[in-house]
Structure 1
């Protein structure tokens, strides 16, 4: 989750843009648009979602690892969580 008001505002703007793109895709599908423009729109949506995911992941990692953890087990759990997030992002 974005932690600063500016990060939150930027993330919400991206989500709204993605919503607009998916609504445009829905209209194109309902209208029976050709495959080329539909595929282009899908690629744009995928890029937008990847950009949002990247921003949120970066924010999370910066927040999580900005300060060293005093408890070694807690630090290990944070690293495991970060690895799981990166793996899900790369799928």
Structure 2
């Protein structure tokens, strides 16, 4: 079973918090909030997204690339997939 299925409830809770933060940012921009408040909200969203990414990557690494990984070829393919995603994320 995939780690995103096992951990579905807390992951969805994180996504919903991020959604709420994005909506708050949208409202702040619509209402002409101070730059510092807008910047603070952007930083909070970025931190939340980074936390979500960290949690999903960690689960993926543990479930698909850990010591229990059965097929070495599949493990290598999973590793390449993670590297591609991380490179894209870090751009």
Q: TM-score, length-normalised on structure 2?
A: 0.84
* Structure 1 match to 2:83: 83
| Aligned-partner SS, 1:77 | helix
* Residue deviations 1:15-45 (CA, integer Å, cap 9, x gap): 1101110111111000001100000000000
Deviation at 1:77, TM superposition (A): 1.4
Unaligned runs of 5+ in 2: none
* Structure 1 match to 2:4: 2
CA distance in 2, matches of 1:74, 1:50: 27
CA distance in 1, matches of 2:89, 2:63: 18
Residues 25 and 38 in structure 1, CA contact (< 8 A), matched pair in contact too: yes
Unaligned runs of 5+ in 1: none
Segments ≥4 residues shifted beyond 6 Å: none
Q: TM-score, length-normalised on structure 1?
A: 0.84
Q: What is the RMSD computed on CA atoms of the aligned residues? A: 1.6
The count of corresponding residues between Structure 1 and Structure 2 is 88
Residues 63 and 69 in structure 2, CA contact (< 8 A), matched pair in contact too: no
Deviation at 1:86, TM superposition (A): 2.7
CA distance in 2, matches of 1:73, 1:50: 29
